Amino acid sequence: MSPALQLALLGATLVLPRAQALTCQRATREFLINVSEMPLRWKADHEVCANGWGCQDTLILIDNGLQVNIVLTKGCTPVGNQDARITEHRAGPGLSVLSYTHVCRQEDNCNNLSTTLPLWALPSTAGPGSLRCPVCLSKQDCESVTKMTCPAGSTHCYRGSIQLRGGGVFTVLRVQGCMSQEGCNVLNGTREIGSIVVSEDCSPNAFLTCEWGSELHTGRNLSRMPIRWTTAHKICDPGEVCEETLLLVDAGQSSVIVESKGCTKGRTQDAPTVSIHSGPPGVLVASYAHFCSSNRCNRARSTSVLLNSLPRPAAPTPGDLQCPICVQGSTPCPENPENVTCPNGTTHCYSGYIRLYGGGIISKIHIQGCVTEASSSLLNHTQKIGIFSVAENSEEPLEPFLQDGAVPTRLLAWVVGLGLSLALWCGMPLC
Ligand SMILES: *[C@@H]1O[C@H](CO)[C@@H](O)[C@H](O)[C@H]1NC(C)=O
Ligand SMILES: *[C@@H]1O[C@H](CO)[C@@H](O)[C@H](O)[C@H]1NC(C)=O
Ligand SMILES: *[C@@H]1O[C@H](CO)[C@@H](O)[C@H](O)[C@H]1NC(C)=O
Ligand SMILES: *[C@@H]1O[C@H](CO)[C@@H](O)[C@H](O)[C@H]1NC(C)=O
Ligand SMILES: *[C@@H]1O[C@H](CO)[C@@H](O)[C@H](O)[C@H]1NC(C)=O
Ligand SMILES: *[C@@H]1O[C@H](CO)[C@@H](O)[C@H](O)[C@H]1NC(C)=O
Ligand SMILES: *[C@@H]1O[C@H](CO)[C@@H](O)[C@H](O)[C@H]1NC(C)=O
């Protein structure tokens, strides 16, 4: 090879570092709007890039004729220059997918696309046809959808989900609309658009989204006063279902409730189930468990899903027995707690603990209270409660119901969210 040719090749493959770092426009935005609100404009921040990096713009429009989903990401990128380009991944009639991509280095803020206009100017002039299809664009579920007369040339109704991932974007869009083709192929084979990886799935549980998060609450009245149960959400891995589990331990003056929501493998759907593991009278241990497989189906909003199903005996008459009473997460009960008069019908004092593992929880709940039998086991050898593996007064290793190897990261996440109740948590693996 001649030295001149070698040089030319080198020149073609190297991105020569600029003397100074570029400043680029930066933004990550998503809009789901009415067609009537188009075209759309936006503002961007700025960021200073690493030496040699360029500025990128990626804009994706998914349009069903009534609504448009707009995904925008711009910022610094190590990728080589690419001319500004508009691509029609899926032309209409009906659903269409359009994108604009650009990577530049010629001057600061050269990734300056600020409106959908260059894409929206594309004509769409088909008259009405005879087919009618449900049309929907939604980040939740397409539950009640509008039916629309499709533009001429449409032959099929489409129903699927599109995932967009990368460049700070992580979205699943439920899509329904008119198509001129059969099949699950609204993306027409597209895998990547600029900095965003796109994928499509038309199965009913595509990119299942579940509510997600775990917490442990300590309080006086948790079996009577419902508390809010809200969480973040996440997209599950293939084959997973959604779960929600509550475990309540109430000894009278003292109670703990543990909440978990998330994705889990190896379970089938299971209608909501309330179980009373022990009491009343005496220490009440009760749980709520629900496994389901549609988007954000684990959406119980408060602990009343459990509390409303608890037995409500008439105000207990006091008995003769006195016992120390205490329920708390992680830290053992104090050595000489005050004694409390037990309800009539209880005959013994209980002192022990329940260990929990799974659904993002690793904890030990310490319990003292009144019970009805000398040999009382609060769980009666139950080993699974919803998503939790449980053991009572035993240090045997707990098999998690897992799912994800992600318990440590999830723990971290609640620790951040927990603030004051942090002290209730034990550290890692054994409490
Ligand atoms: C679009 O917006 C108009 C006015 O804001 C509203 O009446 C109409 O229902 C919207 N259509 C859709 C499909 O959201
Ligand atoms: C599908 O993509 C190809 C190029 O990849 C393009 O030529 C064709 O027009 C697209 N089909 C539709 C219906 O948009
Ligand atoms: C956007 O950037 C290009 C290239 O740097 C420049 O030629 C153009 O004038 C800019 N447009 C606006 C509206 O700033
Ligand atoms: C506990 O709940 C009961 C019934 O709702 C109420 O009468 C009582 O005042 C509550 N106690 C506390 C400490 O909140
Ligand atoms: C509480 O009652 C137990 C017996 O049920 C007794 O052994 C203990 O001393 C009592 N504790 C206090 C602080 O009164
Ligand atoms: C306590 O319960 C027993 C039966 O368990 C009953 O015979 C007795 O009357 C009850 N005492 C009070 C004060 O309610
Ligand atoms: C404990 O479990 C056994 C078998 O699982 C059952 O026969 C028994 O009735 C249970 N006891 C209580 C108090 O629920």
pLDDT digits (tens, 9 = 90+) for 155-198: 999 999 999 988 888 888 999 999 999 999 999 999 999 999 99
pLDDT digits (tens, 9 = 90+) for 247-285: 999 998 899 999 999 999 877 778 899 999 997 889 999
Does 231 fall in a domain? yes
Residue 349 Cβ inside 6 Å of ligand 5? The answer reads yes
Of 178, 201, 224, the position where a domain reaches its end is: 201
Does 213 fall in a domain? yes
Lowest mean pLDDT among 40-44, 269-273, 413-417: 413-417
Does residue 335 have a pLDDT over 90?
Answer: no
Residue 94 Cβ inside 6 Å of ligand 2? The answer reads no
For the full predicted model, state whether its pTM sits above 0.75.
no
Nearest protein CA to atom 10 of ligand 6, as residue: 344
Nearest protein CA to atom 8 of ligand 5, as residue: 339
Per cent of the chain over pLDDT 70 is 87
Q: What is the pLDDT of residue 121?
A: 63
Ligand in closest contact with the CA of 314: 6
Q: What is the pLDDT of residue 331?
A: 86
Q: Do 267 and 193 belong together in one domain?
A: no
Ligand in closest contact with the CA of 336: 5
Nearest protein CA to atom 5 of ligand 6, as residue: 345
Per cent of the chain over pLDDT 90 is 58
77 CA from centroid of ligand 6 (Å) = 77
Ligand 6, atom nearest to 317 Cα: 14
Q: Do 110 and 196 belong together in one domain?
A: yes
Does residue 429 have a pLDDT over 70?
Answer: no
Q: Do 304 and 245 belong together in one domain?
A: yes
Confidence of residue 10 (pLDDT cuts 50, 70, 90): very low
Q: Do 242 and 303 belong together in one domain?
A: yes
Nearest protein CA to atom 6 of ligand 3, as residue: 110
Is the Cα dihedral 146, 152, 156, 160 positive or negative?
negative
Q: Do 213 and 350 belong together in one domain?
A: yes
Ligand in closest contact with the CA of 145: 1
pLDDT digits (tens, 9 = 90+) for 379-399: 988 999 999 999 999 888 877
Q: Which of 119-133, 135-149, 344-358 has the highest mean pLDDT?
A: 344-358
Ligand 5, atom nearest to 324 Cα: 1
How are the residues of the chain apportioned to helix, strand and coil, as percentages rounded to the nearest 5? 10, 45, 45
Between 101 and 1, residue with greater pLDDT: 101
Of 184, 201, 218, the position where a domain reaches its end is: 201
Q: Do 135 and 283 belong together in one domain?
A: no
Nearest protein CA to atom 11 of ligand 1, as residue: 34
Q: Do 236 and 365 belong together in one domain?
A: yes
209 CA from centroid of ligand 1 (Å) = 27
Confidence of residue 149 (pLDDT cuts 50, 70, 90): very high
Of 179, 201, 223, the position where a domain reaches its end is: 201
Q: Do 187 and 235 belong together in one domain?
A: no
Nearest protein CA to atom 10 of ligand 1, as residue: 34
In whole angstroms, what is the distance from residue 364 CA to residue 388 CA?
12
Ligand 5, atom nearest to 336 Cα: 13
Does residue 417 have a pLDDT over 70?
Answer: no
**In angstroms, what CA-CA distances link 29 with 87, 114, 133, 233?**
20, 12, 29, 19
Does residue 308 have a pLDDT over 90?
Answer: yes
Does 13 fall in a domain? no
Of 105, 57, 54, the closest CA to residue 77 belongs to 54
What is 189-238 written as a DSSP string? T--EETTEEEEEE-STTTT-EEEEEEEEEEES-TTTS--B---EEEEPPT
Long-range contacts of residues 185-190, Cβ cutoff 8 Å, at least 24 apart: 186/90, 186/95, 186/97, 186/158, 186/160, 186/162, 187/89, 187/90, 187/97, 187/162, 188/89, 188/90, 188/97, 190/89, 190/97
Q: Which domain holds residue 90?
A: 19-120+128-201
Q: What is the pLDDT of residue 411?
A: 39
Does 364 fall in a domain? yes
Ligand 2, atom nearest to 180 Cα: 13
- Number of domains the chain contains: 2
Q: Do 55 and 147 belong together in one domain?
A: yes
Q: Do 181 and 300 belong together in one domain?
A: no
Does residue 55 have a pLDDT over 90?
Answer: yes
Q: What is the pLDDT of residue 406?
A: 38
H or E stretch at 6: helix 3-13
Does 246 fall in a domain? yes
Does residue 319 have a pLDDT over 60?
Answer: yes
Q: Do 219 and 331 belong together in one domain?
A: yes
Q: Do 113 and 245 belong together in one domain?
A: no
pLDDT digits (tens, 9 = 90+) for 96-141: 999 999 999 999 999 999 999 888 765 566 788 899 999 999 988 7
Nearest protein CA to atom 11 of ligand 4, as residue: 221
Q: What is the pLDDT of residue 398?
A: 79
Does residue 419 have a pLDDT over 50?
Answer: no
Does residue 374 have a pLDDT over 60?
Answer: yes
Ligand 2, atom nearest to 91 Cα: 14
Does 224 fall in a domain? yes
353 CA from centroid of ligand 7 (Å) = 19
Does 236 fall in a domain? yes
Nearest protein CA to atom 4 of ligand 6, as residue: 345
Does 8 fall in a domain? no
3-state SS assignment for residue 70: strand
Lowest mean pLDDT among 147-151, 230-234, 251-255: 230-234
